[in-house]
């Protein structure tokens, strides 16, 4: 396994809210990773029961010279716990320990921890600084970048949240060494989406290097994480609050979120829902006459090679449609989908219900 050369990708917003994404190996133990962050008397690390035994003490050691006190909040693991109860556990600690509005929160974990910590930071005392320390591939390439924070509701995924940017993202590729294979594959889904929506050459690179990524080759991972972050940084810099362009980052997510919500949070991983959702969205792109027929098998083969499901659960067409009408991209009850117009170019548009029903029937069992 080859080593990765550290690199930095910048998110360009207004001057006060721009920040860097640090990508590389051994970043967790590098003092430079933690320099230049907001000063405070207290830092609070939010993590979960799975990640805490692996990395909590290491992060505490790095933060101890920077902050007078370093606390930890350890939450249950899993999408099923991305809810009000877990959010209130964070608030309970902050209030019980008299944490002030300069307290810095550190999100140590995957997308669930990052989303909840960011949301807590956005609303505690109307906003405190936070830092993303993503430890899963999915969070390194997607959820830790761009400032989307949220919790789930039984009726819809990520429906309660806020746009709130971190101070820094520190993506240590070495944390992927402890990632279970299923979680690695889930992260690959969010990487794969960047090819068809923004970079046709990157899609070809992924087809040539998917085995290296599954083998956790650090050079391949470093490039995939960097290129993913570069594409997302460019999109977020143009459309931070998803008024238009940023919606293309949700390729496959409308179908995928329906699967996650319909089965119950945690039954499928988010990336598994997105992987299967991309197959459906690719088929929809073909059925709308936007893409040639060979696009669907090309995407399906890559997604399957990544270890992701390509057939969704048979929830029923009416249930899929019901769930997708609650999607954040829906307008006036009309479902809108991210579709591919040409390799590297995506748009969002409605589709006839009968066409969507055909897609669902073709890819569920």
DSSP string computed for 129-175 = -EEEEE-SHHIIIIITSS-EEEEEETTEEEEEEEE---SEEEEEGGG
Q: Are strands 345-350 and 336-342 parallel, antiparallel or unpaired?
A: antiparallel
135, 175 Cβ separation under 8 angstroms: yes
Of 82, 193, 246, 328, the catalytic one is 246
Active site residue 322: no
d(CA 345, CA 200): 9
**What's the CA gap between 4 and 260, in Å, rounded?**
34
Q: Tokens 């972050």 belong to which residue?
A: 229
CB atoms within 10 A of CB 358: 15
CA 49 from centroid of its chain's CA atoms: 20
Residue among 82, 218, 227, 270 flagged as catalytic: 270
Q: Catalytic annotation on 232?
A: yes
Structure tokens at 232: 């997302």
Residues 31 and 69: their CA atoms lie apart, in Å, by: 17
Q: How far apart are CA 14 and CA 143, in angstroms?
A: 21
Tell me how many degrees the CA angle 286-290-293 measures, rounded to the nearest 5.
35
User: Is residue 242 annotated as part of the catalytic site, yes or no?
Assistant: yes
The encoded tokens of residue 159 equal: 């429906």
Strands 69-75 and 104-109: unpaired
User: Half-sphere exposure of 54 toward its Cβ, with a 13 Å CA cutoff?
Assistant: 16
Q: Is 158 a catalytic residue?
A: no
Q: Which of 82, 148, 226, 287 is catalytic?
A: 148
Catalytic site residue 270? yes
Q: Are the beta carbons of 277 and 252 closer than 8 angstroms?
A: yes
User: Is 314 considered catalytic here?
Assistant: no
Spatial separation of the C-alpha atoms in residues 65 and 134, rounded to whole Å: 22
Task: Considering the candidates 79, 183, 242, 272, report the single residue annotated as catalytic.
Answer: 242
Active-site residue identified among 48, 82, 183, 190:
190
Find the catalytic residue in 48, 152, 158, 250.
250
Tell me whether residue 126 is one of the annotated catalytic residues: yes
| CA distance linking residue 357 with residue 237, whole number of Å | 35
148 annotated active-site: yes
Active-site residues: which are they?
Answer: 126, 148, 190, 232, 242, 246, 250, 253, 257, 270
């Amino acid at each position: 396994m080859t080593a990765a050369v550290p690199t930095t990708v910048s998110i360009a917003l207004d001057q006060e809210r721009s920040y860097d994404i640090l990508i590389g190996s051994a970043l967790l133990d590098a003092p430079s990773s933690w320099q230049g962050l907001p000063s405070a008397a207290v830092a609070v690390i939010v993590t979960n029961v799975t990640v805490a035994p692996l990395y909590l003490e290491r992060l505490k050691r790095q933060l101890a010279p920077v902050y007078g006190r370093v606390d930890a909040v350890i939450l249950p693991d899993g999408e099923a716990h991305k809810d009000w109860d877990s959010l209130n556990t964070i608030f309970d600690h902050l209030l019980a320990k008299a944490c002030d509005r300069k307290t810095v929160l550190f999100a140590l974990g995957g997308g669930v921890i990052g989303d909840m910590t960011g949301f807590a930071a956005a609303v505690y005392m109307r906003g405190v600084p936070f830092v993303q320390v993503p430890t899963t591939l999915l969070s390194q390439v997607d959820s830790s970048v761009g400032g989307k924070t949220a919790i789930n509701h039984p009726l819809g995924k990520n429906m309660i949240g806020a746009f709130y940017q971190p101070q820094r993202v520190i993506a240590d590729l070495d944390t992927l060494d402890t990632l279970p294979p299923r979680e690695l594959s889930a992260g690959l889904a969010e990487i794969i989406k960047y090819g068809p929506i923004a970079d046709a050459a990157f899609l070809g690179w992924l087809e040539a290097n998917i085995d290296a990524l599954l083998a956790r080759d650090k050079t391949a991972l470093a490039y995939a994480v960097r290129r993913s972050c570069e594409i997302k940084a460019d999109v977020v810099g143009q459309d931070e609050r998803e008024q238009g362009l940023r919606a293309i980052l949700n390729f496959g997510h409308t179908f995928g979120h329906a699967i996650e919500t319909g089965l119950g949070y945690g039954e499928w991983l988010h990336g598994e829902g997105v992987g299967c959702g991309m197959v459906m969205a690719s088929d929809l792109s073909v059925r709308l006459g936007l893409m040639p027929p060979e696009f669907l098998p090309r995407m399906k083969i890559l997604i399957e090679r990544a270890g992701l499901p390509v057939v969704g659960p048979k929830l029923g067409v009416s249930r899929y449609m019901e769930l997708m009408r609650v999607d954040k991209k829906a307008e006036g009850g009309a479902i809108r989908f991210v579709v591919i117009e040409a390799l590297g170019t995506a748009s969002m548009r409605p589709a006839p219900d009968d066409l969507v029903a055909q897609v669902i029937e073709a890819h569920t069992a």
